[in-house]
A and B are shown apart, each in its own frame.
Chain A
Amino acid sequence: MAKKEAGMAIIRHEIKEHLQTGDIILEMKHITKKFSGVTAVDKVDFSMKKGEIVAIIGPSGSGKSTFLRSINGLEEITEGEINLYGTTGMVFQHFNLFPHMTCLGNITYAPIKVKGKKKDEIEKRAQELLELVGLSEKRDVYPIQISGGQQQRIAIARALAMDPDLMLFDEPTSALDPEITGTVLSVMQKLAEQDMSMIIVTHEMNFARNVADRVIFMDAGKMIEEGTPQEIFEHPKSERLRDFLNTITR
């Protein structure tokens, strides 16, 4: 049975068995989002398959974050339909860790409160996740005591603890010092290698080029161009994409 959320056009389909790689995990139709008259996202159609890694690039104000945030309901869409075949996890530009909880507390809180997981069971899983993001020794410290890059890796572990089928990354490295973005990107690379489905809104063109299966260029609320990293970065078709690539590589 599909469940439609009140006031929102997100239809969460309950999955009977696990999705196979290649099955549709997300299908969005005519997504439009207006903020007091200004159209941030303009009739966008989008779909992706399980295991796929999609990078969304574009100038700031192009609607890419708004589009991403509409997938898990952080932005209520004005028009359209979102079919979601699984659960989402999200990583934010500013990490948004819970400052009053330790790193471990951040990771285990939602699984305990939302999924009713047993404490020792989820702590074991948290330990694995801490190892995955390379921060086992930060288990019992508070977010304020670690660097931005470390906080973001904890935030990734926190999202993963809910076992999401699709990970949404909203400019995960934009708030970090350039020299530490690598640590976060390498964790994301690991996830990609583990076949995690991911949508990444990013300004990291090299990362998009190396990790994404598909790159989408958004501008003025529309998806202007999409293709493989090679098509987008080596052979851009539209003038707007060429202009955009020129400005950022200059």
Chain B
Amino acid sequence: MGEFFSNFATEFVETAAYIGIILPALLRGTLVMVQLFCWTLLLSLPLGLPIALGSNMKFWPVRIFCRFYVFVFRGTPLLLQLYFFYFFLPIAFGVRMEELTTAVVTFVLNYAAYFAEIYRGGINGIDRGQYEAAKALGISKTQTMLGIILPQTMRIILPPVSNEAIVLVKDTALASVITLGELMKASRGAVNRDVDATAYVVAAVIYLMFTFLLTVISNKLEKRYSLYNQREAG
């Protein structure tokens, strides 16, 4: 019995020491992951809006272009897009780009397509009566979109958008295939070198911490934006 506990204690201390050794590399990978995540959200969230509005336009060349864009980027694997841009961008621009830049470009283009579809669904979910009321009051089309429709869309799109953000945390792992030194690549490096799966467990915990954080943030936002939609108590 005593032997079991002393073995366990030794194991524990050894594992803790090992984690201490691999942690700096994993944290560096985490930093790259966070950079990719933030840049992607920061750029793809706004980029999705013109694509969504374009997909709804009566002017057909714009509508077809936007729908085709979504069709292509939503209809092909992100992994394939990463490989493609990794090889295509240097040819197109004549310079080898940083892996992070390549990953950000690919992720932004891909996620903008998803966000565009979420926005479009949100916009189309607004009652026709809202447009009619705005028109009857003489409010311009642009002002109707900005002041009446989009603010109401926020509440509808928030759950699917935060869902996509959580998916994005995990998708950043794909960027390891174009040798971006993010968390996945860092943990795989440690595992392959030491023939020890501990790094994967640590990486999993780090991913979980981020998805948990995002869940908390999205719940807070949802509460805030649903404020006008809840009856007063009593």
Contacts and interface: CB of A to CB of B under 8 A. Distances in A.
A49 B148 CA distance: 34
A84 to B, nearest CB: 13
Interface stretch (A52-60, A91-99, A118-126, A128-136): A91-99
Given A100-B151, A100-B228, A145-B232, A159 B137 contact: yes
Interface residues of B, number: 23
A114 B148 CA distance: 13
Given A96-B127, A100-B228, A142-B228, A113 B132 contact: no
Main SS at interface, chain B:
helix
Interface in B1-20: none
Given A99-B152, A144-B228, A113 B147 contact: yes
A67 interface: no
A94 B129 contact: yes
Contacts of B229: 99, 142, 144
Interface string A148-177: 000000010011001000001000000000
A155 B132 CA distance: 13
Given A109-B147, A142-B228, A100 B137 contact: no
Contacts, number: 67
B132 A96 contact: yes
A97 B138 CA distance: 15
Contacts of B143: 113-114
Contacts of A90: 132-133, 136
Given A92-B129, A96-B127, A114 B139 contact: yes
15 contacts: A88-B136, A89-B136, A92-B132, A94-B129, A96-B130, A98-B152, A110-B139, A113-B139, A113-B147, A114-B138, A142-B228, A142-B229, A144-B230, A144-B231, A168-B136
Given A96-B129, A99-B152, 5 more contacts: A92-B132, A94-B129, A114-B137, A142-B228, A159-B136
